[in-house]
Homo-oligomer: A and B are copies of this chain.
């Protein structure tokens, strides 16, 4: 691929840990209970005839680590020949579950297996081990077939401290930091550990004497002349003890693994299973009929999503699912949960119910209008008090105000998708009263009965509600009389209609239907025939044009209600109007940025959000059947890809960017971009 220099998370499912690498010259490393990249030197490469060549994830210092240590000038300066591969010598290939660098005869892959995950309570211990082992893998290959001299490869991370052989009776070789992370491989004649204060100088000079004051304990792999060798190592993390407060919980994997060493052993013994799992995912993405840019965007999003996942076990023995919010590390932010629902319904739908239940149990409240839900459940492993998020504050009109109405819709829609798509009757039966309460609460927030929210929550006190687009301008930021939220309300009524009807609440179901019709009529009535668009806010002469007008169409569609989103269906008029709206605004200077050619969510803000672009792309193409031509669409994807690969290269998957430059404005290292999973059939 053309752009190679960008960071990527490499993470196991639910372990809230990453090995981050990819931005050339910026190093990388492990990070635990966080998603921000460290800048440690990473040693990956090979030595042949005394010459070392490494991938460009470290800096070669002229200082001698030994001199630094002793405060004296070393007696004998050893020569070393070390070169970093330059960017143009390297090729990088991203699979759904792999990230591969090749340079000449050398190849390095990071492999992050993932697949379907069952609810833990119905798993055997063995199944739990396979599903929750906090492991990823790395593969190093050197093709030395045509050479007449032996070679060696290296893998090492600065900052690790101890050699793995010492805590495994020499059964495994590798390195670790404390009891918390490390890497390993089974002991064999082809591999050895090397720890030195100045490891590259020592290695260059064939000094293999281990020194446990070393700063980057490494593995050295033999590649004899005339052979091609591939070595697979496991990278593992382990966080023990109580991790979250407010609700005390431990990592679920600590139930089946007692130490980092046990995790590494399990990973190595079952490497074939995991590599096969990853290969399956790679194949699926590769064989999809998506263009190369979309394939990349899905893979990139997947990596950062997994980096933010955290599967815990509460003191009552039950599983607790958390997705963290990228650089902000808020926990289970509800306006992300609803965007993750497409991913989670595909791979582990039970996590959706897990989060919805905790919202009901602990993160719901009643304001003057009825039931509502909080924005999030806390921040940085600290669960916030019952009924309160870490984000929302009273007496504000912008960022950090309450999102009461949006979160009420988020529960209704997320629960609706879960209930209707999975047909989990037991769960619906338990929660049917919550659906009813949500319906009542929605209605009482629409004082003028036009289907659109017009009452702010009493929790706002003197302030007013906002939407998930908190830092965008008023076009998407204000909740009251908002087109985007109006459409979400409509979708909620459509889903409520189905759920209530299926569960024998015929009268209420009809009421919901009526509400959906009223909302649709109201939105249609706001259409500006002359200009061909619906204004973003039905107040104060607002003239912003927004793409997320169509976002909510996704919910009826994914639960199979094709009628609701059809031009010839129940809401045909609305659908026709929305298509006109999109046709009008998806133009340079309106919602296509004139500088970059990428999508702008709002005509009046340069702040644009990738996760929401992907979602709307899906709606416009797949649901509204609007075709802008393959070349045009591919060019859009190329621009969005370049925002991630070039403009946000140090921030892994990034949601909020400037639409002209693609540079990050916020929401870095973010899980939400997995809305792109919708693109896959």
Instruction: Give A residues with C-beta under 8 Å from B.
Output: 33, 66, 69-72, 75, 161-162, 166-167, 176, 178-179, 209, 211-213, 240-243, 245-246, 259, 328, 330, 378-382, 384-385, 390-391, 393-395, 398-400, 470-471, 607, 656, 665-666
Known: A399-B70, A607-B71. A393 touches B211 (CB 8 A): yes
Instruction: Tell me if B243 and A179 are in contact (CB < 8 A).
Output: yes
Let me know if A666 and B69 touch, CB within 8 A.
Answer: yes
A382 to B398, CA, bound (A): 50
How many whole Å from A590's CB to the nearest CB in chain B? 21
The one of B161, B242, B330, B471 in contact with A70, judged by C-beta atoms closer than 8 angstroms, is B471
Chain B residue, CB-CB nearest to A261? B245
Main secondary structure of the interface of A (DSSP, over half): loop
- Known contacts A209-B394, A245-B167, A378-B212: does B399 contact A470 (CB below 8 Å)? no
Closest to A209 in B: B393
Complex Cα–Cα for A176 and B380 (A): 11
Query: Given the complex of chains A and B, what is the CA–CA distance between A65 and B72 in angstroms?
Result: 44
Min CB gap A485→B, angstroms = 19
* Contact B246–A259 (Cβ < 8 Å): no
For the complex, give the distance between the alpha carbons of A119 and B71 in Å. 38
With a cutoff of 8 Å between Cβ atoms, the chain B residues found around residue A393 in the complex are 209, 211
Residues of B within 8 A of A33 (CB): 178
> A400 near B211 (CB under 8 angstroms)?
yes
> In whole angstroms, how far apart are the Cα atoms of A125 and B607 in the complex?
59
**Nearest CB in chain B to that of A388: its residue:** B212
Min C-beta distance of A422 to chain B, whole Å: 33
Q: Is the CB of A166 within 8 A of B384?
A: yes
Measured CA separation A43–B330 after assembly (Å): 24
In contact, A656 and B241 (Cβ under 8 angstroms): no
Given contacts A33-B178, A162-B245, A166-B382, 11 further A-B contacts (CB under 8 A): A69-B328, A69-B666, A70-B471, A72-B607, A75-B398, A161-B382, A209-B395, A212-B384, A213-B379, A213-B390, A213-B391
Which of B71, B240, B665 contacts A240, CB < 8 Å?
A: B240
The complex is assembled from copies of this chain, and their number is 2
CB of A381, distance to nearest CB on chain B (Å)? 6
B72, B178, B328, B471: the one contacting A399 at CB < 8 Å is: B72
How far in angstroms is the closest Cβ of chain B from A82?
A: 22
In the complex, A362→B140 CA distance in Å?
Answer: 37
Q: Which B residues are in CB contact (< 8 Å) with A391?
A: 212-213
Q: How far is the CA of A20 from the CA of B480 in the complex (A)?
A: 49
Q: Determine if B161 and A379 form an interchain contact, defined as CB atoms under 8 angstroms apart.
A: yes
- Which one of B241, B385, B400 contacts A166 once the chains associate, using CB atoms below 8 Å? B385
Q: Are A399 and B607 in contact (CB under 8 A)?
A: no
What are the residues of chain B within 8 A of A167 when measuring CB–CB?
245-246
5 contacts between A and B (CB under 8 A): A162-B245, A179-B241, A179-B243, A209-B394, A213-B391
Contacts of A176 in B (CB 8 A): 245
Shortest distance between the CB of A223 and any CB in chain B (Å): 27
Give the residue name and chain of the B residue nearest to A245 (CB). Answer: B167
Q: Determine the residue in chain B with the shortest Cβ distance to A397.
A: B75
A241 to B380, CA, bound (A): 20
Complex alpha-carbon distance, A72 and B474, angstroms: 12
B241, B390, B607: the one contacting A241 at CB < 8 Å is B241
Nearest-neighbor residue (CB-CB) of A166 within chain B: B385
Specify the chain B residue showing the minimal Cβ separation from A390.
Answer: B212
A395 to chain B: which residues have CB within 8 Å? 209
Tell me which residues across on chain B come within 8 A of A72, comparing CB atoms.
399, 471, 607
Whole-angstrom CA separation of A400 from B471 in the bound complex: 57
Least CB separation from A72: chain B residue: B471
Contacts of A211 in B (CB 8 A): 390, 393, 400
Chain B contacts for A394, CB-based, 8 A:
209
Which residues of B sit under 8 angstroms from A259, Cβ to Cβ? Answer: 242
With most chain B CB atoms within 10 A of its CB, the pick from A211, A382, A665 is A382
A70: B residues at CB distance < 8 A: 398-399, 470-471, 666
Q: How far is the CA of A385 from the CA of B165 in the complex (A)?
A: 10
Contacts of A69 in B (CB 8 A): 328, 399, 666
Residues of B within 8 A of A607 (CB): 71-72
Closest to A195 in B: B390
Contact B241 A71 (CB under 8 A): no
Q: A245 to chain B: which residues have CB within 8 Å? A: 162, 166-167, 176, 178-179
Give every chain B residue within 8 A of A240 (Cβ-Cβ): 240-242
CB-based nearest B residue for A666: B71
Chain B: CB-nearest residue to A76 = B398
CB contact under 8 A between A380 and B209, given known A70-B471, A665-B71: no
A212: which B residues are within 8 A, CB to CB? 378-379, 382, 384, 390-391
> Which of A71, A161, A240 is packed against the most chain B CB atoms within 10 Å?
A71
Q: Which chain B residues border A161 with CB–CB below 8 Å?
A: 379-382
B71 adjacent to A382 (CB under 8 Å): no
Which 4 A/B pairs are nearest by Cβ-Cβ distance? A71-B665, A162-B382, A212-B390, A71-B666
Instruction: Give the contacting residue for A242; candidates B179, B385, B666; CB below 8 A.
Output: B179
Contacts of A66 in B (CB 8 A): 399-400
User: Which B residues touch A179, using CB under 8 A?
Assistant: 241-243, 245
| Distance between A515 CB and nearest chain B CB, rounded to angstroms | 33
